Amino acid sequence: MDVPVRRRDLPGLGKQYEIDSAGGSRVAVVVQNNGARHLYTFDEGAETAATAVQLDEQQARTLGAVLAGVYFEPSGGNHDAPAVFGAVAIDWLVVEAGTPPMTVGDLGLADHASGMVVAVVSGDHTVMKPDAGEQVRAGDQLLIVGYRADIAEVRAKLLGAVEG
């Protein structure tokens, strides 16, 4: 779906581009002839800007790249998608309610040189580099590093323990 962009010439100054957000607020960008950019946000129905930011040309290009997804492309609603850096994937897995108590060793990564549990977060307590005997309980968060298959294997073991 294309988002309508309103364009307005600003004689002697540059051009203004404006779009509406889904929530009714607006964003306007003024590109001056000298290369400066001004970014304005407007609350729904407001005629005066709620915020204003001036960016030089390089800052504006960097912000544009961030907004375009050059630095990070979200995975949408797929919360099961790990962050991937080359062949290495990193993911947080939450141990679901109903999962029986188990240990890090029960997850099977100790047998894989390519995957490991980096941390177990239980409430406000974090265990970095947990050993195989570290307990894993419902509600804990696990930071896993490895190939996608390693992460999928741990996810399947956790889900299997719940469905078990």
Tell me the pLDDT of the chain (164 aa) as tens digits: 578 999 999 999 999 999 999 889 999 999 999 888 999 999 999 999 999 999 988 888 888 877 766 665 455 444 555 565 666 778 888 888 888 888 988 887 766 667 888 889 988 888 988 988 999 998 898 888 888 787 888 888 887 655 55
22, part of any domain: yes
Q: Is residue 76 situated within a structural domain?
A: no
Pairing of strands 135-136, 51-55: unpaired
Q: What do you get for the CA distance between the two ends of the chain, in Å?
A: 43
User: What is the token pair recorded at 40?
Assistant: 């304005």
Length of the chain counted residue by residue: 164
- 77 located within any domain: no
129 lies in the same domain as 152: yes
Residues 50, 11, single domain; the answer is yes
Among 68, 91, 114, identify where a domain stops.
Answer: 68
Same domain for 54 and 92, yes or no, is no
- For 43, the token pair is 């609350």
CA-based nearest residue to 16, from 8, 26, 24: 8
- Alpha-carbon distance 122 to 138, whole Å? 9
pLDDT of 93 reads: 84
3-state secondary structure of 164: coil
Are 59 and 93 in a shared domain? no
Residue 1 included in any domain: no
- Total count of domains within the chain: 2
Angle at 154 between CA 135 and CA 128, to 5 degrees: 45
Tell me, yes or no, whether 101 and 124 share the same domain: yes
Work out the widest C-alpha separation in the chain, in whole angstroms: 71
| Closest-CA residue to 145 (of 112, 99, 102) | 112
- Residue 105: helix, strand or coil by DSSP? helix
Same domain, 98 and 153: yes
- Flag whether 53 is in a domain: yes
Q: Are 55 and 110 in the same domain?
A: no
pLDDT number for residue 107: 85
Report yes or no on 75 lying in a domain.
no
Q: Which domain holds residue 33?
A: 6-68
**Residues 6 or more apart in contact with residue 80 via CB below 8 angstroms:** 155
Asked if 161 contacts 104 with a C-beta cutoff of 8 angstroms, the reply is: no
| Same domain membership, residue 91 and residue 56 | no
CATH number for the domain harbouring residue 93? 3.30.70.1450
Instruction: Let me know whether 17 and 54 are in one domain.
Output: yes
pLDDT at position 77: 47
Residue 47 forms part of a structural domain: yes
* Residue 55 maps to a domain: yes
Backbone angles phi, psi at 24, to 5 degrees: 100, -10
Residues 23 and 53 in one domain: yes
